[in-house]
């Protein structure tokens, strides 16, 4: 009798997972915290972990002293962001849900090993031993790696694409991510990074932004960001949004808030929901699409409260809630991680997977960054599992260009890890710049991912080289940005 062939499994096996809120009373510091307290946004904000002392008080005997020493050294010697973790996010690290068979590791060495390996811990509480000893920063890593300030049309208003602008309304968030691309401006200063301060008063900056948007009819889309808009008093945010909606050229507004995941209690607060309803209603009547963009990096961050917050926003009239995650090694750098996250978002929380950004070239970030080739392989592996509208694009935010899908690369020197990209538009601040659409722009892989010959080339021709290919291209790109900045200043000047 012919034998049935063994069933061959798909590379990724889809399964539905019911969302569960991990039990916060497992932490000795929160053993007596009630569900009402947990659901209260003020309680959440007041109990964020901001320093090692507070982390110790929360964790009791779970972690070893060696872990705290590792964290302390990172804060002193490498961290580009200060520590700020909401209870909601702390609670998703090493829980009964993330551990095989629901059995928690024992306090001490076992728990510490699990904590080290936790994907949320890896980017919210980075430690020195996470970082690389060699090539820990790329030679061309910079504080404002996307050169957003170079493209400010007014203070905090980045005009990089022809039809859309990014309005950075405030420099704070309810939580600080170790890999933050706006580490130049966002958050408190750390021993390694003195943060820039916005010079203008908030109302003056907002009026200048609104003036620019009104006077630039080719702009139809405003990303309202920060920081995180969840840290802005709602009445101030609503007043700004009302004015944006009233600008005739505006057709889309996107609110950027990681807090939808990190502090869903904010977006579930009745006052906030009522405010979103008013703004969404006005937007709808004015023909403006209002959406929320959030930032979730791992499936274990998607809990019932996060799903409730997203659904509350949709019920309040927000057109879509979309996710823009950041692709990071050890956090979500496998097909399984990415698809598990996308399905959790889509199936259980009504959040549309949208983008995964490659981690940007900020200092000390090389351990998180993937090469372009790795990102391309991941993009290939995601295709076909999700509906087309919810298949996220993995994008490289190429300095001076903007988001490019990873397969859009023009040419790619894999040995040296240098990719070359082109731009198909010029922004209004580059209207005099006739070369912009024919120029090449560069992006760099982490050097430790290169073959030995490529690594040697960087030793020979790195940042200190005089005329190496990478440096001359890099210098050309910097000059390009300076030109854009000057054009911007000239345009703003009365």
**Residues found near ligand SF4 in the complex (CB under 6 A):** 173, 176-177, 180, 182, 186, 227-228, 258, 295
Q: Which two tokens stand for residue 43?
A: 């309680």
Strand order in the sheet with 418-422: 411-413, 418-422, 440-444
Beta carbon of residue 404, minimum distance to ligand SF4 (angstroms, whole number)? 20
Nearer residue to ligand SF4 within complex by CB, 118 or 430: 118
Between 186 and 299, name the residue whose CB sits nearer to ligand SF4: 186
Rounded to a whole number of angstroms, the minimum distance from the CB of residue 189 to ligand SF4 is 14
Residue number, 338 or 362, with CB nearest to ligand SF4: 362
User: Minimum Å distance from CB 204 to ligand SF4?
Assistant: 22
Tell me whether residue 177 or residue 280 sits nearer to ligand SF4 (CB atom). Answer: 177
Tokens representing residue 490 in the block = 């000239």
Cβ distance 32 to 26 under 8 Å? no
CB of 368 to ligand SF4, least distance (A): 12
Q: Please identify, using beta-carbon distances, which residue of 176 and 441 lies nearer to ligand SF4.
A: 176
At a CB cut-off of 8 Å and minimum separation 6, what does 23 contact?
A: 95, 96
* Gyration radius of the chain over CA positions: 23
* 411 Cβ contact list (under 8 Å, min separation 6): 419, 420
Q: What are phi and psi of 152, to 5 degrees?
A: -65, 125
**Nearer CB in complex with ligand SF4: 291/386:** 291
Q: How far is the CB of 199 from ligand SF4 (least distance, A)?
A: 19
Q: What angle is formed at CA 87 by the lines to CA 336 and CA 129, rounded to 5 degrees?
A: 60
What is d(CA 341, CA 333) in angstroms, rounded to the nearest whole number?
Answer: 11
- Minimum gap (Å) between residue 180 Cβ and ligand SF4: 3
Contacts of 131-134 with CB under 8 Å at 24 or more apart are: 131/74, 131/78, 131/364, 131/366, 131/367, 132/366, 132/367, 132/448, 134/448
For the CB of residue 226, give the shortest distance to ligand SF4 in the complex, in Å: 6
Question: Residue 421 pairs with which residues in a beta bridge?
Answer: 441
Report the residue number, 263 or 429, with the smaller CB distance to ligand SF4: 263
By CB atoms closer than 10 A (0-12, 13-18, 19+), residue 142 is middle
- We find the least distance from the C-beta atom of residue 176 to ligand SF4, in angstroms, to be 5
Strand partners, 292: 255, 321
Smaller CB distance to ligand SF4: residue 153 or 177? 177
């Amino acid at each position: 009798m012919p034998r049935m062939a063994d069933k061959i499994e798909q590379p990724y096996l889809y399964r539905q997972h019911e969302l569960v809120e991990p039990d916060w009373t497992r932490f000795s510091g929160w053993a007596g915290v009630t569900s009402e307290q947990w659901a209260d946004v003020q309680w959440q904000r007041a109990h964020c972990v901001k320093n090692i002392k507070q982390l110790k008080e929360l964790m009791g005997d779970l972690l070893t002293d060696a872990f705290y020493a590792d964290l302390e050294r990172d804060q002193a010697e490498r961290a580009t962001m200060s520590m700020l973790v909401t209870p909601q996010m702390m609670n998703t690290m090493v829980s009964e849900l993330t551990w095989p068979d629901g059995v928690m590791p024992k306090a001490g060495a076992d728990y510490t090993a699990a904590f080290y390996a936790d994907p949320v811990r890896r980017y919210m509480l980075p430690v020195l031993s996470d970082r690389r000893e060699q090539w820990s920063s790329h030679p061309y890593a910079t504080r404002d790696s996307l050169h957003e300030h170079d493209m400010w049309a007014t203070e905090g208003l980045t005009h990089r694409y022809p039809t859309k602008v990014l309005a950075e309304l405030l420099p704070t968030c309810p939580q600080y991510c170790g890999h933050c691309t706006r580490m130049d401006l966002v958050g408190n200063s750390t021993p390694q990074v003195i943060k820039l301060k916005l010079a203008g008063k908030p109302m003056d900056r907002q009026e200048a932004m609104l003036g620019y948007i009104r006077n630039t009819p080719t702009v139809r889309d405003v990303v309202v960001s920060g920081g995180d808009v969840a840290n802005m008093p709602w009445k101030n945010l609503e007043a700004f949004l009302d004015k944006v909606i009233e600008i005739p050229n505006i057709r889309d507004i996107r609110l950027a808030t990681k807090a939808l995941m990190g502090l869903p209690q904010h977006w579930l607060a009745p006052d906030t929901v009522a405010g979103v309803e008013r703004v969404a209603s006005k937007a709808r009547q004015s023909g403006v699409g209002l959406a929320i963009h959030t930032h979730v990096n791992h499936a274990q961050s998607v809990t019932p409260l996060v799903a409730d917050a997203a659904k509350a926003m949709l019920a309040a009239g927000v057109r879509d809630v979309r996710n823009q995650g950041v692709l990071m090694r050890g956090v979500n750098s496998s097909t399984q991680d990415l698809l598990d996250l996308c399905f959790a978002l889509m199936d259980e929380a009504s959040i549309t997977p949208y983008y995964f950004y490659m981690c940007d070239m900020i200092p000390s970030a090389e351990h998180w960054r993937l090469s372009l080739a790795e990102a391309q392989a991941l993009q290939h592996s995601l295709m076909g599992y999700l509906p087309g509208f919810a298949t996220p694009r993995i994008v490289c935010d190429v300095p001076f260009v903007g988001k490019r899908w990873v397969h859009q690369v023009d040419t790619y020197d894999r040995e040296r890890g240098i990719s070359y990209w082109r731009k198909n538009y010029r922004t209004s601040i580059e209207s005099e710049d006739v070369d912009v659409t024919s120029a090449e722009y560069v992006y760099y892989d982490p050097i430790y991912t290169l073959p030995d010959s490529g690594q040697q080339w960087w030793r020979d021709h790195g940042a200190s080289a005089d005329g190496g290919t990478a440096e001359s291209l890099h210098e050309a790109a910097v000059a390009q940005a300076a030109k854009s900045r000057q054009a911007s200043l000239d345009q703003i000047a009365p």
